């Protein structure tokens, strides 16, 4: 379907033309004076110079041509030359009727779908997920869903950190604790046990212990580097242990991401490109891009127009070891070979901005990607505590994701009970817990996504979990309210399936209808700008418009059957759009709350 603003613009453009002016002047925008009109056009002012005419006169002539319009109801010229407009009730009604019948509410699919890979996990094996991983997961998942809904071909990849020194550290610590493990017996040639010699909780304790020791003890660190080297060069026992570490850790990660409603299509890791690194490095040398500098192998990536210093991209360290850059570059090569994406999107903390600039330039310069492959880094800001500093536990440590979710859920249960008490109904314990999980996730995700990704934001438990204001729970509360009205309508004997949207009967209904009508334009914008916050802003406006209408309209006691069923139809469409939007943000609504 065409966007509603385009349809209105077309109408006004025709009128400009009919009055003898350039049609282009007829571009319409949403009114910035909603007290006066719904839409406005400033074209008469823009045309005044060209036509040597007072803008008000042009506006008046155009307004006259719109007298008989099927789209516009009230068109008036206002000084110094605005065209103020309202649309006809029938026009909005028909637009919404068509939305209801159309796939994806009339969202146009792109002529040519793009293949896009989104890299938005980045957890490190054997290290617990912490709040730093939260933003990447939340924002990335939403971007994946939005672009997929908008008709593109999307692959989400977790890109596990599974190959670096942390693996050597764990293996070293295991060896110190259990030197007799069969994995450390170099002469052993048999099969290794299927069961891992540790649990996830042990693993999560082993890593920080080993990491602390390596910082104090040089020989320990040397051992860990040696173990990393042995692992990477394929020593059997080390590989077998590594497989256990991955299995145990990935099982746990899957559970954690599932709780967040986050699902990756690919579970690849840094280790997956290990074997293709030598070939890539060779090609970079052969092509004359990579050269030795202080023993290390680097590629220059600075450009003449740079205003800041962009250091060379290091490909290999002086000891020949690969780095974070190396795996990212090899992964780009792998992704191009396996999937030929049009676009690669990376989500990380914005402190990695320069890093990705180097990697992208290097990939382009060395021909790892095509000239038209888009490489995009979305650097997000920090999630801060109320003190404005990066979010920490009460004791000042890094907040584990599980604990954060637990805290939110506890607060949500409290609020759900409180709400039930004031409303005078019973909630059973089990239901309150289930609902708290659903609403808690909405609180966290909406709190994050409603900010522009690049900005820092304050994680404010009280505000995020509130049922009022620009919050996830408010949106859910609105959906639940609609569902409850629909439920009651059905109980009264009404049928939901054969309802038809009618003309708006009052301003609040029309405002709601015009808000609903913005859906396709909003989704297109959110996808093009890679901006989930646009969906949040939209559903906040939509929920407000609905609640305004709800407070002014006695829906269920209405006697006029047609009018009532028209409202029900509008409610169904509003609910469906709200639910679609929250699904694109990565959360869902409960039945009651």
Where in 398-457 is the site for ligand ARG (CB under 6 A)? none
> Which among 215, 165, 167 is positioned nearest to 323, based on CA atoms?
165
- Cα–Cα distances in angstroms (integers) from residue 359 to residues 160, 250, 313, 355, in the given order: 18, 27, 7, 6
Report the half-sphere exposure of 278 (CA within 13 A, side-chain side). Answer: 3
Q: Cβ 564 to ligand ARG, closest distance in Å?
A: 53
Report helix, strand or coil for 85: strand
Task: Give 379 or 525: the residue with its C-beta nearer to ligand ARG.
Answer: 379
Q: Cβ 431 to ligand ARG, closest distance in Å?
A: 37
Between CA 527 and CA 455 the distance in angstroms is: 19
Binding footprint of ligand ARG, residue count (CB under 6 A): 8
Determine which residue in the list 328, 411, 448, 509 makes contact with ligand ARG, applying CB under 6 A: 328
Between CA 570 and CA 553 the distance in angstroms is: 13
Where in 210-229 is the site for ligand ARG (CB under 6 A)? none
Cis peptide before 272 (omega within 30 of 0): no
Task: Give 6 or 374: the residue with its C-beta nearer to ligand ARG.
Answer: 374
Task: Give 346 or 464: the residue with its C-beta nearer to ligand ARG.
Answer: 346
φ and ψ at residue 82, rounded to 5 degrees: -75, 150
* DSSP H helices in 150-235: 165-177, 200-216, 218-232
Q: Cβ 157 to ligand ARG, closest distance in Å?
A: 9
Binding mask 457-476 for ligand ARG (x = CB under 6 A): --------------------
Three-state helix/strand/coil letters over 452-496: CCCCCEECCHHHHCCCCCCCHHHHHHHHHHHHHHHHHHHHCCCCC
Between CA 48 and CA 549 the distance in angstroms is: 40
Task: Give 81 or 140: the residue with its C-beta nearer to ligand ARG.
Answer: 140
Binding mask 122-141 for ligand ARG (x = CB under 6 A): x-x-----------------
Task: Give 277 or 461: the residue with its C-beta nearer to ligand ARG.
Answer: 277
Q: Cβ 159 to ligand ARG, closest distance in Å?
A: 5
Which listed range, 117-125, 230-238, 540-548, 563-571, lies at the site for ligand ARG (CB under 6 A)?
A: 117-125
H or E stretch at 12: helix 4-18
291 strand-pairing partners: 298
Between CA 478 and CA 120 the distance in angstroms is: 31
H or E stretch at 346: strand 343-349
Which listed range, 54-62, 118-126, 147-155, 511-519, lies at the site for ligand ARG (CB under 6 A)?
A: 118-126
176 strand-pairing partners: none
Report helix, strand or coil for 42: coil
Task: Give 231 or 345: the residue with its C-beta nearer to ligand ARG.
Answer: 345
Q: Cβ 385 to ligand ARG, closest distance in Å?
A: 21
Which listed range, 119-127, 362-370, 371-379, 399-407, lies at the site for ligand ARG (CB under 6 A)?
A: 119-127
Q: Cβ 526 to ligand ARG, closest distance in Å?
A: 23
Task: Give 341 or 473: the residue with its C-beta nearer to ligand ARG.
Answer: 341
The sign of the torsion formed by the CA atoms of 324, 325, 331, 332 equals positive
Which listed range, 46-54, 116-124, 500-508, 575-583, lies at the site for ligand ARG (CB under 6 A)?
A: 116-124
Task: Give 281 or 332: the residue with its C-beta nearer to ligand ARG.
Answer: 332
Give percent helix, percent strand, percent coil of the chain, each to the nearest 5: 55, 10, 35
Task: Give 48 or 203: the residue with its C-beta nearer to ligand ARG.
Answer: 203
- Print burial letters for 467-481: b (CB count within 10 Å at least 16), e (below 16): beebbbbbbbbbbbb
Where in 46-65 is the site for ligand ARG (CB under 6 A)? none
Q: Cβ 434 to ligand ARG, closest distance in Å?
A: 32
Task: Give 159 or 274: the residue with its C-beta nearer to ligand ARG.
Answer: 159
Binding mask 365-404 for ligand ARG (x = CB under 6 A): ----------------------------------------
Task: Give 119 or 272: the residue with its C-beta nearer to ligand ARG.
Answer: 119
Q: Which residue is nearest to ligand ARG (CB)?
A: 122
Q: Cβ 161 to ligand ARG, closest distance in Å?
A: 3
Where in 250-279 is the site for ligand ARG (CB under 6 A)? none
> Which among 462, 509, 479 is positioned nearest to 585, based on CA atoms?
479
Q: Cβ 527 to ligand ARG, closest distance in Å?
A: 22
Q: Cβ 127 to ligand ARG, closest distance in Å?
A: 8
> Is-contact 431 451, C-beta < 8 A?
no
Q: Mention every residue, 6+ apart, whose C-beta is less than 8 A from residue 208.
A: none
> Is-contact 587 445, C-beta < 8 A?
yes
Q: Cβ 222 to ligand ARG, closest distance in Å?
A: 24
Q: Cβ 327 to ligand ARG, closest distance in Å?
A: 8
- Does residue 346 bind ligand ARG (CB under 6 A)? yes
Task: Give 328 or 448: the residue with its C-beta nearer to ligand ARG.
Answer: 328
Task: Give 235 or 453: the residue with its C-beta nearer to ligand ARG.
Answer: 453
The sign of the torsion formed by the CA atoms of 261, 264, 267, 271 equals negative
Where in 159-188 is the site for ligand ARG (CB under 6 A)? 159, 161
Give first-to-last CA distance, the chain, whole Å: 35
Q: Cβ 346 to ligand ARG, closest distance in Å?
A: 6
> Which among 410, 408, 556, 537 is positioned nearest to 475, based on CA atoms?
537
Q: Cβ 270 to ligand ARG, closest distance in Å?
A: 8
> Which among 203, 207, 134 is positioned nearest to 169, based on CA atoms?
207
Q: Cβ 516 to ligand ARG, closest distance in Å?
A: 38
Complete DSSP assignment for 352-391: GHHHHHHHHHHHHHTTSS-TT-EEEEEEE--EE-TTSSB-
CA angle 463, 469, 471 (to 5 degrees): 60
Residues contributing to the site for ligand ARG (CB under 6 A): 119, 122, 124, 159, 161, 328, 346, 348
């Amino acid at each position: 379907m065409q966007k509603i603003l385009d349809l209105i613009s077309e109408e006004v453009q025709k009128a400009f033309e009919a009055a003898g002016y350039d049609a282009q002047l007829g571009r319409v925008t949403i009114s910035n004076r909603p007290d006066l009109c719904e839409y406005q056009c400033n074209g008469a002012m823009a045309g005044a110079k060209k036509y040597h005419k007072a803008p008000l006169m042009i506006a008046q002539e155009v307004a006259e041509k719109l007298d008989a319009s099927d789209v516009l109801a009230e068109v008036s010229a206002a000084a110094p030359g605005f065209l103020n407009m309202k649309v006809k009730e029938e026009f909005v009604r028909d637009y919404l009727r068509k939305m209801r019948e159309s796939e994806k509410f009339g969202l146009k699919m792109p002529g040519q779908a793009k293949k896009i890979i989104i890299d938005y996990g980045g957890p490190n094996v054997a290290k617990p997920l912490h709040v730093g991983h939260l933003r990447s997961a939340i924002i990335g998942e939403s971007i994946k869903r939005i672009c997929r809904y908008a008709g593109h071909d999307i692959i989400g990849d977790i890109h596990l950190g599974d190959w670096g020194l942390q693996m050597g550290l764990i293996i070293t610590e295991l060896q110190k604790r259990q030197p007799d493990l069969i994995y450390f017996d170099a002469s052993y040639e048999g099969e290794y046990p299927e069961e891992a010699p540790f649990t996830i909780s042990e693993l999560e304790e082993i890593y920080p212990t080993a990491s602390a020791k390596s910082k104090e003890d040089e020989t320990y660190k040397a051992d860990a580097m040696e173990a990393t080297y042995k692992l990477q060069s394929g020593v059997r026992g080390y590989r077998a242990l590594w497989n256990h570490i991955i299995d145990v850790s990935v099982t746990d990660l899957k559970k954690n991401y599932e709780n967040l409603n986050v699902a990756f299509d690919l579970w690849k890791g840094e280790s997956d490109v290990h074997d293709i690194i030598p070939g890539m490095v060779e090609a970079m040398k052969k092509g004359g891009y990579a050269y030795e500098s202080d023993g290390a192998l680097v590629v220059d990536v600075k450009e003449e127009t740079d205003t800041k210093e962009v250091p060379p991209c290091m490909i290999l360290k002086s000891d020949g070891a690969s780095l974070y850059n190396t795996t990212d570059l090899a992964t780009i090569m792998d992704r191009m070979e396996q999937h030929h994406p049009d676009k690669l999107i990376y989500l990380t903390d914005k402190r990695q901005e320069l890093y990705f600039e180097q990697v992208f330039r290097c990939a382009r310069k060395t021909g790892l990607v095509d000239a038209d492959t888009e490489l995009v880094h979305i650097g997000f800001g920090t999630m801060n505590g109320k003190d404005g500093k990066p979010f920490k536990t009460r004791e000042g440590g890094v907040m584990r994701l599980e604990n954060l979710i637990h805290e939110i859920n506890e607060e949500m249960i409290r609020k759900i009970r409180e709400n039930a008490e004031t409303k005078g109904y019973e909630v059973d314990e089990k239901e309150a817990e289930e609902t708290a999980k659903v609403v808690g996730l909405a609180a966290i995700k909406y709190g994050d996504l409603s900010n522009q990704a690049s900005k820092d934001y304050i994680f404010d438990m009280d505000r995020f979990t509130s049922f009022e204001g620009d919050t996830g729970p408010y949106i859910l509360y609105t959906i639940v309210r609609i569902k409850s009205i629909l439920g009651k309508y059905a109980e009264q004997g009404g049928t939901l399936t054969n309802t038809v949207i009618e003309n708006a009967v009052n301003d609040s209904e029309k405002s709601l209808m015009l808000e609903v009508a913005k859906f396709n334009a909003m989704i297109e914008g959110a996808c093009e700008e890679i901006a989930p916050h646009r969906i949040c802003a939209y559903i906040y406006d939509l929920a407000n418009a609905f609640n305004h209408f709800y407070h002014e309209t006695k829906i269920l006691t209405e006697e006029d059957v047609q009018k009532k069923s028209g409202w029900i139809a509008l409610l169904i469409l509003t609910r469906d759009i709200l639910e679609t939007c929250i699904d694109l943000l990565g959360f869902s609504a409960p039945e009651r709350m």
